[in-house]
Structure 1
Amino acid sequence: MSFSLRQLEFFIAVAETGKISSAAQRCNISQSSMTISLQNLEKILGTKLYTRHAKGVRLTDFGRSFLEHARQIMDSVQTALNSANQQPQALAGEIRIGITDTIAAYLMPNVLQAMDQRFPALSMILFENNQQGLEKALLAETIDFALMLTSNYKLSSAIRVTPLLHSKRKLWLSPHHPLQKKEIISLADITEQDYLLLDMEGHVATADMFWGQYQLTPNIKLQTKSIEAVRSMIALGLGVSILSDFSYRPWSLEGNRIIRRDISEQIPDLEVGAAWVADKALSPQVKETIDFIKNMVDPPSSL
């Protein structure tokens, strides 16, 4: 007996929401139907994927490992579906897109490849800058739209934003970190550990906001603009950090493992959005490009 893509979708939803009820709502099915489907998945795999606790569910060690495979499978299926629909189109001309360095690193390579396949006659000119620079470029009309971490900034009222994706923030730590022994990890638990604070694209202000909300202060061991430094130190067990799934990679540059754990408190998601001047009509090229990127990075569930 083999499992279905729908069962993988249910399992991923449970892992990301931490609750059967929330996952069922997200997948538009009843809670009982989701529970039965997940029980059948566990029977097929021959082991438990999660355990229940007072606030929801917690993945087992096998569940966390299987989650990575499940995501890879779903990503591969979605890539295949996208490929089937990405026949060359007649959209042509030139689009000027502003991007931040995080967008350049984690979003644009796949977007550019897909856009080249879908719209071969469309020329995309990229300009990298920080949020303030991109906002000025938008108002000066030297770029058509910008892709940025819109949740990390308060933009001018003259700028309109279309959300493209939301990415959950989680605790990043090494597989052998002492916090791994805890079934539930809270912000208070994290304050007792060395904390690595990423200082780029509004991360510090966002961190101050959610730490301040719970009247807690992290024990900051390092504040750095280098996400690779944060990644390497986490993997070596030299600290932990709260970062989003958007920039997550399971390995450091040295090849050491990094894992993610949910946090018991509510931490705001990271939002990636497309920004443009509010009173300026979007050209057909720009509108279709934004729609294409949105469907690519956050496709409607159809599996």
Structure 2
Amino acid sequence: MSFSLRQLEFFIAVAETGKISSAAQRCNISQSSMTISLQNLEKILGAKLYTRHAKGIRLTGFGISFLEHARQIMDSVQTALNSATQQPHALVGEIRIGITDTIAAYLMPNVLQAMDQRFPALSMILFEDDQEGLERAVLARTIDFALMVTSNYQLTSSTRVTPLLRSKRKLWISPHHPLQKKEEISLVDIAEQNYLLLDMEGHIATADMFWGKYQLTPSIKLQTKSIEAVRSMIALGLGVSILSDFSYRPWSLEGNRIIRRDISEQIPDLVVGAVWIADKPLVSQVQEPIDFIKNMVDPPSSL
């Protein structure tokens, strides 16, 4: 017996919302149907995926591990569908795209591969800079558009933004961290831990905003521009951090495990957008690649 993609979709929805009722609403099915489907999935796998508590569900250790596999399967299926339905397009010429280092690391490899297949006659030239430098390049018309984290940066009125994806921020911790014993984790809990503060692409300003909103101050053990340093220290249990799903990887460079937990307070999402100059209408050579990237990273409908 094997599980279905629909069952994986239900499980991912439950894991991301933390509630059977919310997941059922998101997937447009009844709560009882959602529960039965998940019970059948557990029977197929021969293991419990989650436990219930007063405010929702909590993934088991097996459930946390299986969630990553489920996401990888769904991503692979979506990539295959995109490849099958998107035929090569006849755009020709050159397009200049600005990117930040975060975009270069976590978005561009898959995007470039897909765009090469979609627009084989279009030459894509990439320029890497920080957010301020890319905005200057957009206004100077030395690049056609820029891909950057727009939620962490205040753009001028001379630019326009096409949002591409939203990514939820969560707590990153070691599987053996004491906070793992808590059913619900708050910013008050996190403020008592050794905190690892990532200093890149406006992240500090965003962190100051949500900590300040609740009149809390984290106990900062390390402030660094290296996300790999943060990842390694989290995996070793030396600290925690609030970071987005966009840059999440389940393992450190040393092969140690990192997991994510929801936070009870509302934390602003990370938003990635395409930035272009306001007074210059987008030609198809620019508009179509932007639309393609948006559809690729944030498909209009789920499987």
Same structural fold, with TM-score higher than 0.5 when normalized by the shorter chain: yes
**Corresponding position of 1:115:** 115
The amino acid of 1:131's aligned partner reads Q
AA aligned opposite 2:242: I
The 10-residue stretch of structure 1 (251-260 or 114-123) with the greater mean CA deviation from structure 2: 251-260
Question: After superposition, where does 1:162-177 map in structure 2 within 5 Å?
Answer: 162-177=162-177
Aligned match of 1:125: 125
Instruction: Please give the per-residue CA displacement for 1:24-77, whole angstroms capped at 9, x wherever unaligned.
Output: 232233333323322322233233222223332211111111101111111111
Aligned equivalents of 1:249, 1:11: Cα separation in 2: 19
Q: Deviations over 1:72-96 (max 9, x none)?
A: 1111111211221233221111111
Shift of residue 184 of structure 1? 1.6
Alpha-carbon distance, 1:287 to partner: 0.8
Other-structure match for 1:295 = 295
Counterpart Cα distance in 2 of 1:19 and 1:285: 43
Separation in structure 1 between the aligned mates of residue 156 and residue 32 of structure 2, nearest angstrom: 46
Q: CA deviation at 1:302?
A: 4.2
For 1:290 and 1:113, the matched residues in 2 are separated by 15
**CA offsets per residue over residues 181-201 of structure 1, 9 Å max, x none?**
222211111111100000000
Residues 1:46 and 2:46 are matched in the alignment:
yes
Partner of 1:273: 273
SS of aligned partner of 2:295: helix
Gaps of at least 5 residues in structure 1 are none
Identity over the aligned pairs, expressed in percent? 88
In the other structure, the counterpart of 2:243 is 243
Which residue in the other structure is 2:145 paired with?
145
Deviations 1:148-196 (A, max 9, x none): 1111112112221111111111111112211122222111111111000
Cα distance in 1 for residues equivalent to 2:161 and 2:118: 24
Aligned positions of 1:249-264 closer than 5 A: 249-264=249-264
SS of aligned partner of 1:196: strand
Task: Give the TM-score taking structure 1 as reference length.
Answer: 0.95
- CA–CA separation in structure 1 for the residues paired with 2:210 and 2:48: 33
Given residue 279 of structure 2, which amino acid in structure 1 is its aligned partner? D
Distance 1:67 1:218 in 2: 29
Match of 1:67 in 2: 67
Residue 125 (structure 1) shift: 1.0
Matched AA of 1:117: Q
For 2:162 and 2:53, locate their aligned partners in 1 and report how far apart those are by CA, in whole Å: 37
Supply the AA of the counterpart residue of 2:23: A
Q: Any idea what SS the aligned residue of 1:71 has?
A: helix
Amino acid at match of 1:137: A
Distance 1:278 1:7 in 2: 44
Residues 207-246 of structure 1: matches in 2 within 5 Å?
A: 207-246=207-246
Does the alignment pair 1:93 with 2:78?
A: no
Paired with 1:141 and 1:21, the residues of 2 have a C-alpha distance of: 49
Q: Using the alignment, how far apart are the partners of 1:19 and 1:124 within structure 2?
A: 43
Query: Within 1, Cα distance between the matches of 2:211 and 2:31?
Result: 33
Equivalent position SS for 1:152: coil
- SS of 1:260's equivalent in the other structure is strand
Question: Secondary structure, in 3 states, of the residue corresponding to 1:112?
Answer: helix
* Aligned-residue offset at 1:288: 0.7
Q: How does 1:3-22 map to 2 (within 5 A)?
A: 3-22=3-22
For 1:30, the aligned partner's letter is: S
Q: Please state whether the residue corresponding to 2:151 is helix, strand or coil.
A: helix
Which deviates the most, 14-23 or 124-133?
A: 14-23
Distance 1:55-1:154 versus aligned 2 partners, 3 A rule = farther
In 2: Cα distance, 1:249 partner to 1:65 partner? 12
C-alpha separation in 2, matches of 1:278 and 1:51:
50
The alignment's C-alpha RMSD in Å is 1.4
Deviates more, 1:205-214 or 1:53-62: 53-62
Q: Distance in 1 between matches of 2:279 and 2:56?
A: 45
Q: Normalising by the residue count of structure 2, what TM-score does the alignment of the two structures yield? A: 0.95
Deviates more, 1:29-38 or 1:232-241: 29-38
Aligned residues: 303
